Structure 1
Amino acid sequence: MTGRLVHTGQAVVDLVMRVEALPPPGGDVLASDVRFTAGGGFTVLAAAARAGAEVVYAGEHGTGRFGDLVRDALAAEGVELVQPPVTPDTGVCVVLVDAAGERTFITETGAEGTLTAEHLHRVRLRAGDLVYVTGYSLVREANRDALLEWLPSAAGHRVLLDPGPLAADVSAGVWRAVLPHVDILTCNAAEAAVLSTVDGVGGVPVRITRVGAAGCDVVARGTTVRVPGFPVEPVDTNGAGDAHAGVLAAELLRGAPVLVAAGRANAAAAIAVQRYGPATAPSRAEVDELLAATRR
């Protein structure tokens, strides 16, 4: 490894409920499975750690049972914490997963939404570190202002941006302020469509668009390459994009070329969607096994 993954986003608690279909307005459905688990940014952190990266969580975590749950989960993955616990408790995301494996989110923000630039300056970046930025940080004013103030101090380090499903809720002006600091953009097709109208997105050196089972498109040095995926029958797509982003980051930290890193990220996502739960990223050995099997 040439450095660490430094995650500036938000680890929360997911309340995951499996349902046959979403209820109609005013309706009700019965869940077949319900569980509390660490989620949000945790899924990226766990994916990178399981892929062998040294991982640092620079975001906030709360005082209370949800904060305790997140801290225990981070410790189990070997993730280093930068910040001490703060009030209030860590926030919760309600995740509804339907019979097709598609997921819908409702998020309540807690301590992770109280980040300041002063807190981010506690991060001591090292040579080779890769900084992870999520679009969720740009939706809430406090986190957005903290990140915009701190990002220039990360100059000289690679920055990976994952805009996330709330990309459309971020103003074009904020995207224009962030994009000049970004070296790698990774997102799904819907998020790519949102950003395609923002001036400056074409100046990001590496742009990766996930296209589901088909894999991902990598744009670098003016050339677009389709890195094929691994068609599988999904049971839960929750966390698949995060598994992709975390493994992509870990492989880049190993010094892998971007197309190789993207291929391994595709494999990780294919494994993740065959498992229930948000933090289902595989180990590096499991990715090796899938790649070896496809070469036979």
Structure 2
Amino acid sequence: MSKRPPPTRLLSVGSVLADIRLDVPCLPQRGGDVLGSEATISAGGGFNILAAAARNGLKAAFAGQHGNGPYGERIRRELAAEGIEALMPASRDGDSGFCIVMVEPDGERTFVTSPGVEARPGQKPLPTLQLGPADALFASGYDLCYPELGPAIADWIGDLPASVTVMIDPGPLVADIPAEIMAAVLARADIFTLNRREAGLLTGSDDRAEAAKRVRDRLSPGALVILRDGPAGCFLLGCDIGEPGLQVPAPVVQMVDATGAGDAHTGVFLAALASGCPAAEAARRANAAAALAVTRKGPATAPRTDELAAFLAEQEAERTTKG
């Protein structure tokens, strides 16, 4: 990864769908019910990463399917509002899917996803997409799990030029990704980002450093593992960061809603790389962006460049005062 030029555009095949968000006092028991409040609908999924990157100066484009119904229309409006280009035409085969997001009082969130047209390859085959020599490509575990789209992505990324930075986030469905598809994306991924729960499912280890090492050992030489660890920040291993790895702390905040925090981290990390930051500094900025995101309700809550700069300055001033 260190020998590649900084990315000049983020192109995502990460599926974008509608998030239907509900505040709940607790998750219902099996066969039970709870009364939710403050229901909202917005673009979610891969939209959050694209928005985070675009808000921090990295040009972004969406290369997945979007539907011809009300969810697809909302997704296109919100992409346009962020200055994100949709490379595929609206699908003629149905609407985009949706995700029920249940947020508990402590900010933790639980999902139920109903896939739509984004679960299938688009009208333009992936190999026909025009990638620039310094593009970054993002795909998620949701996309890799879909029976039609997953194999298409795995076959395609293996043939991409080495100058294209491939970033993979396996997400909550990490254990459901078919083994042959996981092997293919691990072999091509330049950056592999996942949270601690997902790392445990993938590697069988609860130890942060050991889990990161087991993932790193399945990647190509020079690839980077980012193990996101909530309030503890993130752990880096690979690229120019050798063993035992590097723990990058996160600012201390009061969490309101964890939805989209990992997406904010990913989008801002790529935007920081694009601006010339080394991996450790990009991770510091990404940690701060994720910390800000969890203080806000909703999915696409990543800060803009000026907000992030002001927050980092506040954090530095606090450290100076305490020090």
TM-score bracket for this pair, using the shorter chain length: over 0.9
How far did 1:114 drift? Answer: 1.3
Q: Which runs of 5+ in 1 are unaligned?
A: none
How far did 1:294 drift? Answer: 1.3
Distance 2:123 2:169 in 1: 20
Residue 222 of structure 1, aligned match among 231, 242, 257: 242
Is residue 2:221 matched to residue 1:206? no
Identical aligned pairs, as a percentage? Answer: 42
Report if aligned partners of 1:20, 1:98 keep a CA contact under 8 Å in 2: yes
Q: What's 1:261 paired with?
A: 282
Distance 1:233 1:200 in 2: 31
Distance 1:240 1:259 in 2: 18
Is residue 2:39 matched to residue 1:34? yes
Residues 75-101 of structure 1, C-alpha deviation per residue, up to 9 Å, x if partnerless? 000001110011210001001001110
Q: What's 1:152 paired with?
A: 158
How far did 1:203 drift? Answer: 4.2
Report if aligned partners of 2:12, 2:137 keep a CA contact under 8 Å in 1: yes
Q: What's 1:196 paired with?
A: 203
Q: 1:142 to 1:124 in 2, by over 3 A?
A: same
274-283 vs 174-183, which moves further: 174-183
Report if aligned partners of 1:235, 1:276 keep a CA contact under 8 Å in 2: yes
Q: Which amino acid aligns with 2:32?
A: G
Q: Which amino acid aligns with 2:306?
A: A
Residues 106-138 of structure 1, C-alpha deviation per residue, up to 9 Å, x if partnerless? 001101011159521232111211111111111
Residue 11 of structure 1, aligned match among 8, 16, 22: 16
Distance 1:140 1:158 in 2: 23
Residue 130 of structure 2, aligned match among 106, 124, 134: 124
Residues 177-223 of structure 1, C-alpha deviation per residue, up to 9 Å, x if partnerless? 21111011111001112232698742432101011111000102433
SS at match of 1:68: helix
How many residues align? The count is 296
Residues 39-81 of structure 1, C-alpha deviation per residue, up to 9 Å, x if partnerless? 0111111111111110011111011111000000000000011
Report if aligned partners of 1:19, 1:29 keep a CA contact under 8 Å in 2: yes
Q: 1:77 to 1:47 in 2, by over 3 A?
A: same
Q: What's 1:77 paired with?
A: 82
Q: What's 2:207 paired with?
A: none
Q: Which amino acid aligns with 1:165?
A: P
Is residue 2:79 matched to residue 1:64? no
Residue 43 of structure 1, aligned match among 48, 59, 65: 48
SS at match of 1:153: coil
SS at match of 2:159: helix
How far did 1:21 drift? Answer: 0.6
Q: 1:295 to 1:41 in 2, by over 3 A?
A: same
Q: Which amino acid aligns with 1:106?
A: V
Distance 2:182 2:123 in 1: 18
Report if aligned partners of 1:60, 1:83 keep a CA contact under 8 Å in 2: yes
Normalising by the residue count of structure 1, what TM-score does the alignment of the two structures yield?
0.96
Report if aligned partners of 2:7, 2:270 keep a CA contact under 8 Å in 1: no
Alignment of 1:82-161 (within 5 A): 82-86=87-91, 87-115=93-121, 118-156=124-162, 157-161=164-168
SS at match of 1:244: helix
Normalising by the residue count of structure 2, what TM-score does the alignment of the two structures yield?
0.88
Q: What's 1:182 paired with?
A: 189
Q: What's 1:52 paired with?
A: 57
Q: Which runs of 5+ in 2 are unaligned?
A: 1-5, 205-210, 318-323
Report if aligned partners of 1:47, 1:247 keep a CA contact under 8 Å in 2: yes
Q: 1:159 to 1:117 in 2, by over 3 A?
A: farther
Distance 1:161 1:117 in 2: 23
Q: 1:103 to 1:200 in 2, by over 3 A?
A: closer
The root-mean-square deviation of aligned C-alpha atoms, in Å, is 1.6
